[in-house]
Amino acid sequence: MQTHSKVVLFMILSLATLAGCGGRDDAPTAEIRPHEMTLHGHTRIDNYFWLKDREDPEVIAYLEAENAYLAKQMAHTEELQEELFAEMKGRIKKDDSSAPYELNGYWYYTRYVKGGEYALHCRRPDSMEGTEEIMFDGNAMGEGLGYFALRGVDVSPDNKLAVFGVDEVGRRFYTLRVKDLATGEIMKDEIRDVTANVTWAMDNRTLFYTRQDPETLRSYQIWRHELGTDTSKDVLVFEEKDDTFSCYVTRTKSDKYLFINSRHTLSSETRLLEADNPTGKFRVFQPRQRDVEYHVSHQGGRFLVLTNLHAKNFRLMECGLDQTWLANWREVIAHRDDVLLEDVEVFNDYLVLGERFDGLTHLKIMPMDGSASHQLDFGEPTWSAWNAYNPQMDTETLRFGYTSLTTPRSTFAYNMKTRHKELIKQQEVLGGFDAANYQAEYLHVPARDGVLVPVSLVYRKGFKPNGTSPLLLYAYGSYGYSMDASFSSSRLSLLDRGFVYAIAHVRGGQEMGRHWYEDGKLLKKKNTFTDFIDCGRYLVKEKFTSSDRLFASGGSAGGLLVGAIVNMAPDLWRGVEAAVPFVDVVTTMLDDSIPLTTSEYDEWGNPGDKEYYDYMLSYSPYDQVSAQAYPAMLVTTGLHDSQVQYFEPAKWVAKLRAVGTGDNQLIFKINMEAGHGGKSGRFRRLEEQALAYAFFMDLVGIKE
C-alpha cells in the first residue's frame, strides 16, 4: 500500500520537472515496478503494469502530470488551437436539424439551438407543419455535467410514451427511464446500469432491455420489464452463456416480431417471439453453427436471411414463417465472388440491396413484381452511400444517405417506382464552403505482395504533387469495418492550409470483399500494417508529400495500426496521432476479465494458443517498443474508456519515454471525464480535434 506522503512526493517531483526547459528531459516518468508474466515458457516483464489501477492516487497523479506536460508542450500553439476551434465551430450551423422521418403519424427529427451542446429530440403530428413537441431537451438534461449522453430513445407503438437512456460518466452504463409524452411526467420506472439497447413490445407496456456484465461489459442478458412494476420483478428471458458471444434485442420493421440476436465474430443466432405476445417464449430461428453468420428480416409471409453459409461474400435466402431452420432456406440472390452483399432493406414491394465492389458502396433497387432491378449512380470517384432510417414498410420511397470527400452528408428521398430523386437534407457548411474548391481522387496502390490497396484522397484545387505538401494518412483496418470516404467540415482546416488528406482502405476492413477482411486478421494481421506503410511510401514516391511531411492517424483498433507502424517504419512519419489506441494486445487478450477480450478471439486469436501468442507478440506495439528514434506522437485516451482501457496507452507512453531515443515530441492527453468517444457535446469534442490539428501544423511550421 502506498502512503499518502509518497503520493504527495510523487506529484511534487512530477510537477517540479515540468518547470524545466522543454524537450524530453522534463517529461514525467512513471516509476518502474517490474511485473513478471510467464506463458508458453516465455517470460515478459511489464514495468508499468501498476498503472492499471484507476483507484490508485499515484496513477491519477501520473496521468495529471502527463496532462500538465502536454499543456506546457503545446502552450505555444494555444492561439492556433483557439483559431482552429473557432473555424470548426464556425462552419457548423448552430440551429441545425436532422432530416425528418415519418412513423405512425408523426414526423421525428433532432435539432440544435444556438449555444447548445446537445440535441433536442422533437416530433410533429401529421406533417412538418404540425405543432412541435420537444420530447427531450439534451441541453437541459446535460446542464452542469462533465459528460452526458442520451441514447436508446424509443417511442411506444401507440405514440404515448418514450423510453430513454442516460450515461453521465462515459463508460456506457445507462439508466433507463420512461417519459409520458402527453404530460411530460417521468414515470417511476428506473432501470440502472444497463446498456442503451431497449425496445417496446406491441402492448405499449412491456420493455425488453439488455444488461452487460459489470466487469467485461459484455452484453449477455435480455430482461423484460412491465411498466409500473418494481425492477426487482423484472424477468430474465435470455442469458448468453457463451462468453465469446454478446446479445441484443430488436423489433422487426414490420412490428410483427421481437428478435434476440446473439453475435460472435464468425457466428450468429437469432431467437424470435411475436411482438404482441411479450410474455411468450422466444424460440430459436436457426441454431448457431461455427463460421455461419445470418441476419433475419421479416417481409409478409416470409423471412429473408442474409448469410455467409457457403457464400464468403454473403447471399440472400428466404424461408417460411414456421419453417426457419436451415434445411428450409431457399436462395433468392446467389453468392458472387466480386460483390459483397452487405445489407438488405425490406419494403412491402421492394428490396434495396447494399452492395460493395471495387471498394465502393452501391445501392440496388429490386422490385418484388419481377421487373428489372436498377442501381443508383453517384457520379464521383469515391463516396459512401447507405440505406438511411426507413421505418415504414408500405412505401415506394427510399431514404438513403450519401457523402463523399467533397460532398457534405446528405439525405435523399428516392421514388423506387418513378426513379425521381429529391434532396431532403444536406449538411449546411458555413464559412464560405464551396465544394468546387476541392478535388478527390481514388487510387490503387501496390502493396509489397502485389495486392492493390485502394486509397481515397482529397486536397484543395491548385495542389501540385511536388513533395512539398503535408499529408495526413488515416486508416482503421479491423473487424471488417470499411472506412468509406466521407465529408468532414473540420477537415477543411487542414485542406485550406495545404494538407492532403488520405484514407488507406487496408486489409482488415471489408472494402474489397470478405477476403479483404480475412487477409487482415488473426495470423495475417500484419498485412494491415504493411499495407498502410506501403501506401505511405507510395504517396511519398509519387510526391503527394515527403517523409518529413507525412502524418499518420488512427483510433482504437486503428490506434493499434499506428502503434505497429511506428515500430516497423519509424522514419517514414513526421508525426502520428494515436487516439484511444489498442496497443497492449497480448496482455489484454490474456485477461478475460476486461471488456471485449473473449468476444474477439476470432479477430486477434487466443494467446493461450502458443502460435497466436508468438504472432501477437511479434506486432504488439507495447511489446515491440525498442531503442530507436520515434516520430513525434500525440496519444489520447479517456479515463473511463470501456473499450480500450486507459492504461494501455498510459503504459505505452511510459515505455516509449523510457526506451525510445531521439528528441521528438511525445505528448499524452487524458480526458479525465470521458470514455472511448472523448468529450461529449456537439462542440466540446472539437477542442480535441483542434489540438490534433495544431500538433500536425506545428510540426511543419504552420502558425496560423
Q: Is 434 a residue of the active site?
A: no
C-alpha 175: how far from chain center: 22
Backbone angles phi, psi at 40, to 5 degrees: 55, 35
> Which of the 8 DSSP states describes residue 636?
E
How far, in Å, CA of 504 to CA of 477, rounded? 9
Taking the C-alpha atoms of residue 413 and residue 436, their distance in angstroms, rounded to an integer, is 24
Q: Are strands 421-426 and 452-460 parallel, antiparallel or unpaired?
A: unpaired
CA dist 626 and 648 (Å) reads 17
The CA distance from 625 to 671, in Å, is 24
Query: Cβ(257)–Cβ(272) under 8 Å?
Result: yes
Strand 42-46 to 360-367 pairing: unpaired
Per DSSP, the three-state class of 95 is: coil
Q: How many CA atoms lie within 13 A of 437 on its CB side?
A: 9
Three-state secondary structure call for residue 460: strand
List the catalytic residue out of 46, 167, 189, 641.
Answer: 641
* Cα Dmax for the chain: 80
In this structure, what are the phi and psi dihedrals at residue 323, rounded to the nearest 5 degrees? Answer: -135, 70
Beta strand pairing call for 198-200 and 666-671: unpaired
Please say if 556 is a catalytic residue: yes
The three cell numbers locating residue 393? 414498410
Q: How far apart are CA 512 and CA 507, in angstroms?
A: 8
HSE-up (13 A, CA, CB side) for residue 697: 26
**CA 314/CA 325 separation, integer angstroms:** 18
Torsion of CA 420, 425, 430, 436, to 10 degrees: -20
From the candidates 295, 298, 505, 676, which is the catalytic residue?
676
Q: How far apart are CA 141 and CA 257, in angstroms?
A: 33
Q: In what order do the strands lie in the sheet with 186-194?
A: 149-155, 161-167, 174-180, 186-194
Give 493's contacts (C-beta < 8 A, 6+ positions apart): 84, 87, 88, 693
| Residues 282/269, Cβ–Cβ less than 8 Å | no
Q: Which residue, 306, 308, 305, 333, is CA-closest to 319? A: 305
Q: How far apart are the first and last CA of the chain?
A: 49
Nearest to 563 by CA among 613, 614, 525: 525
Strand 360-367 and strand 350-357: pairing?
Answer: antiparallel
641 is catalytic: yes
Three-state SS sequence of 341-390: EEEEEECCCEEEEEEEECCEEEEEEEECCCCCCEECCCCCCCEEEEECCC
- Element spanning 6, H or E: helix 4-18
DSSP code of residue 324: -
Is residue 637 within 8 Å of residue 673, measured between CB atoms?
Answer: no
In the numeric block, the cell 442474409 is attached to 306
DSSP for 442-458? Answer: EEEEEPTTSPEEEEEEE
Out of 384, 482, 556, 642, the active site residue is 556
Nearest to 282 by CA among 310, 314, 250: 250
Q: Which residues are catalytic?
A: 556, 641, 676
